[in-house]
Amino acid sequence: MPEGDAVLRTARALNRGLAGQVLRRTDFRVPQLATTDLSGGTVLTTETRGKHLLTRIDHRTGEWTLHTHLKMEGSWRVLDVGRRWPKPGFQARVVLGTETTEAVGFLLGTVELLPRDQEHAAFDHLGPDILADSWDPDEALRRLLRQPGRTLFEALRDQTNLAGIGTIYAAETCFIAGVSPLRQVADATERLPAMLQRTRELMKAEWSRSRRMWVYGRRACRRCGGTVSLARVGPAGQERPAYFCTFCQR
């Protein structure tokens, strides 16, 4: 699943292509919005809350927010009008077209249209957004410590604690801190503030684009060369892969 930094890059691409532009065509290919037409509306901006995308549109029918989430397989592509889509049409869930640009959302996990004054319903449950200017590390720490017996891996990925971190950054954050992702939150209380700060710096630097991971998805640790261990962590049916080096992480 794309993490907070990848979602932020998606928002920037949508803003470059759509912000301030009048929609000449809209096509919502989900049952609940099949008859919705926002053509003639103006796209104001696309913002993020953690992994959620909020595209605000002013239309004669009202002030709307298109809430989308990429989940595991979703993506947005911003293309010149007339350019061939990079994925088959049956995978498209949303099409927003201006005079010169088409933004196509493929395999989006969430698509809903909310009145602007109700958009908060999409993200009220989230903890502080680690990439936001309003990032509140003290509140994030408070939420993490509510369940001291959870593994660090689960706690860092829990979007109600802090929004934006997924499987990749949960693993890499723990590696950089030298702590096993299987350790309990209570065992890393003193390290957590520095871990969060370092993760925020890495994500804002778009570090994951280089894909030079220390342990995530690797067979050998990039630091010591030892074998990377893999554990499946999480509730039954919702397990996620936690990569770690047993030599570099304790």
Range of the domain at 64: 4-122
Does 141 lie in the same domain as 81?
no
Q: Which pLDDT value is given to residue 235?
A: 87
User: 49, 51, 157, 183: which one is catalytic?
Assistant: 51
Does 141 lie in the same domain as 111?
no
Any domain includes 72? yes
DSSP 212-223: --SSTT-SB-TT
Identify whether 63 is a catalytic site residue: no
Identify whether 2 is a catalytic site residue: yes
User: 2, 128, 154, 172: which one is catalytic?
Assistant: 2
Beta-ladder partners of 233: 240
Does 227 lie in the same domain as 146?
yes
Does 118 lie in the same domain as 19?
yes
CATH number at residue 50: 3.20.190.10
Does 75 lie in the same domain as 50?
yes
Does 108 lie in the same domain as 142?
no
Check if the beta carbon of residue 165 is closer than 8 Å to that of residue 130. yes
Q: List, for residues 120-139, the tens digit of each pLDDT value.
A: 999 999 999 999 999 999 99
Q: Which pLDDT value is given to residue 33?
A: 98
Q: List, for residues 197-231, the tens digit of each pLDDT value.
A: 999 998 888 655 556 799 999 999 999 999 999 99
Any domain includes 128? no
CA dihedral over 221, 226, 228, 229, signed as positive or negative: negative
- Give dist(CA 26, CA 35) in Å, integer: 10
| Domain final residue pick, 90, 122, 154 | 122
Identify whether 240 is a catalytic site residue: yes
Identify whether 154 is a catalytic site residue: no
Query: pTM for this structure?
Result: 0.93
Q: Which residues of the chain have pLDDT under 50?
A: none
User: 191, 204, 240, 241: which one is catalytic?
Assistant: 240
DSSP 6-61: HHHHHHHHHHHHHTTPBPSEEEE-SGGGTT---TT-EEEEEEEETTEEEEEEEETT
Any domain includes 250? no
Check if the beta carbon of residue 55 is closer than 8 Å to that of residue 46. yes
